[in-house]
Amino acid sequence: MYELASGPLALGAALIFLLGLVYQTVRFFWLTKPVARPARTYKPQPGSKTGLQPSHRLQRTAVVQRTVLGMEPGLVVVTTLFHLLLILTPLTVLGHVLLVDASWGIRLPAISEATSDLLTVLVLALGGYLLYRRISVAQARSITGSVDLLILAIVLMPYLTGFLAYHQWLPYRPIIVAHILSGELLLVCIPFTRLAHALFFFLTRLCLGSEYSFTRGNRTWR
């Protein structure tokens, strides 16, 4: 089972993941259209007598305040940290770095096992908080379905099994196979479920000018 999970299944999951991302990128560009880039800065009307011409800084502050960053800064910190660790932790775990090196000869930067262990616990704790929020906060609960809980479980499963495999509190062999399979399941799910926001977040934030983007995007929804 280990050979199957770490061989053909891993290759299949990686292929589905990459092709799925390509498909979703094409889909995004098909559903948006190019528009003229908005002006870079606020230009006050010449001859204004109000004396209230906003500076660039004030304008920027006003824009930030009406986004989620200005309204729920705590939640933004938690979710940003969760997503960053979700990506960085598996890429820097020593075991993964050694496997990548042995397979393809690519040397990725690794961090100590103790640090990886700590980051994994942090991912699980932050994921637990998001689960708690989904259940306890009325606003989130009102739009949460069983699929959302299942997706959160799919996301956290590789981290939980990886943590258990590292500490070997349970029989190692089945846990490491479960770890590999759950990681592959996550990869397959990313492009075809709501987890596709991993890709769409960057596409919408960087390309769309109409949705409070990070840049002056030159596209909008069709």
Partner 1 sequence: MLRRTRRQSFQAIENQLQANRSRIRFMLQLCVRCAMCAESCFLYRTSGRDPRLMPSHKMLNSVGTLYRRRGKASQEELEAIRKILWHRCVLCMRCYCPLGVDIPGIIALGRSMCRTQDLYRRYDGSDLKP
Question: Which residues contribute to the site for partner 1 (CB under 8 A)?
Answer: 27-28, 30-31, 66-68, 71-72, 75, 79, 137-145, 148, 193-194, 196-197, 200-201, 204-205, 208, 210-213, 221-222
Nearer to partner 1, 173 or 194 (CB): 194
Nearer to partner 1, 52 or 138 (CB): 138
Contact 177, 2 (CB under 8 A): yes
Nearest distance from C-beta of residue 138 to partner 1, angstroms:
5
Separation CA 71–CA 92 (nearest Å): 33
Cβ contacts of 215 within 8 Å, gap of 6 or more: 205, 206
Nearest distance from C-beta of residue 217 to partner 1, angstroms:
9
Nearer to partner 1, 42 or 201 (CB): 201
Give the CA radius of gyration of the chain.
Answer: 22
Phi, psi at 32, each rounded to 5°: -120, 165
Nearer to partner 1, 96 or 134 (CB): 134
Task: Report the length, in residues, of the chain.
Answer: 222
Q: Which residue has the tokens 């509190």?
A: 169
